[in-house]
Amino acid sequence: MIIVIQCSDQVGLVATVSNVLAKNIINIISMREHVDTASKRFFLRVETEGAANTVSLLPQLKEVLPANANIQINPIPEKKIIVLVTKEYHCLSDILIRNHFKTLRAAVQCVIGNHASLQDICQRFDIPFHLTSHENVSKESFESDLLGLIQKYTADYLVLAKFMRILSPTFVTHFPMRIINIHHSFLPAFAGANPYRQAYERGVKLIGATAHFVTDLLDEGPIIAQQIIPVNHSFTPTDMMRAGKEIETSVLAKALHLVFEDRILVYGNRTVVFE
């Protein structure tokens, strides 16, 4: 079981939580904490073993922690996800391979695409693929169809694996901090379309990728993971794009690992990451 807590900081919080767990005969395997001194905010992740009555544990923790405490008690079993795609295969194929060999730390429920390009690879891995076209329909109709498909499953998270459609705030509100996106640049630089062309024209010496939670503000949600690699004057935009796809795959894989193991705590538009 994993317990994640964030609340106002005060003296003795680690001891307080430890005492509650000890009284319930719950053994602590690992404990990571962080205090944001600017906001006086306390963050804690505890991994435990031993039988526990989570129904009774939650009120016990609430009783001894500050009134504004946000407490989540999550079982170890794997998360469930739905993957949204368009035409690019690199992130999806990595997810499907990890899912097949049970190293994803989650189970792919289905893949939804607004083009049929990636249906074949899903069939090869025996993963249901649903086509929901955005063409010749309104954005509202498209998102209504998308939502209808998603609600047929019980997904903990939606993963945008190069899903090249901007989701409306109305849609995003159905999944607060449950939509994970991989962006093909080192945010906040070069947001929007054609980031590698932008990077090439600017003459940058580093390119990267960013995984973040999706919010109402385009490409500005809380950042989960980022990575960069060096480039030089010999790189064409195509070279940059090719290298960028490798980074995108790597960063998304790392972000999913962190999220699925409950190592990310969101506060405002920032994240605390217990790697």
CA 184, 190, 193: angle at the middle one, nearest 5? 65
* Amino acid present at 45: R
The first and second tokens of residue 202, run together, are 């600017």
**Confidence class for position 188, pLDDT limits 50, 70, 90:** low
- pTM of the predicted model, to two decimals? 0.91
Higher pLDDT, 197 or 38: 38
Asked whether residue 100 carries a pLDDT value surpassing 80, the answer given is yes
The first and second tokens of residue 127, run together, are 């993963």
**In the beta sheet, which residues pair with residue 229?**
207
Average pLDDT over residues 86-95: 97
Q: What is the pLDDT of residue 28?
A: 94
Confirm or reject CATH 3.40.50.300 for domain 2-74, answering yes or no. no
Asked whether residue 60 carries a pLDDT value surpassing 90, the answer given is yes
Nearest to 210 by CA among 193, 229, 192, 185: 185
Higher pLDDT, 129 or 197: 129
Asked if residues 148 and 132 have their Cβ atoms less than 8 Å apart, the reply is: no
**In the beta sheet, which residues pair with residue 264?**
273
Asked whether residue 9 carries a pLDDT value surpassing 80, the answer given is yes
Phi-psi map region of 205: left, alpha, beta (phi>0 left; psi -120 to 50 alpha): alpha
Average pLDDT over residues 148-172: 95
Q: What is the pLDDT of residue 51?
A: 64
The C-alpha atoms of residue 153 and residue 132 are separated, in whole angstroms, by: 16
What torsion, rounded to 10 degrees, do the Cα atoms 248, 165, 221, 212 define? -20
Q: What is the pLDDT of residue 52?
A: 65
Asked whether residue 238 carries a pLDDT value surpassing 90, the answer given is no
Asked if residues 79 and 98 have their Cβ atoms less than 8 Å apart, the reply is: no
Helices (H), strands (E): how many in the chain?
A: 8, 13
The catalytic residue positions are 219
The C-alpha atoms of residue 111 and residue 264 are separated, in whole angstroms, by: 24
Q: What is the pLDDT of residue 229?
A: 87
Asked if residues 128 and 80 have their Cβ atoms less than 8 Å apart, the reply is: no
Pick the CATH number of 79-273 from 3.30.300.30, 3.40.50.2300, 3.40.50.720, 3.40.50.170: 3.40.50.170
Asked if residues 258 and 273 have their Cβ atoms less than 8 Å apart, the reply is: yes
For the chain, the domains span: 2-74, 79-273
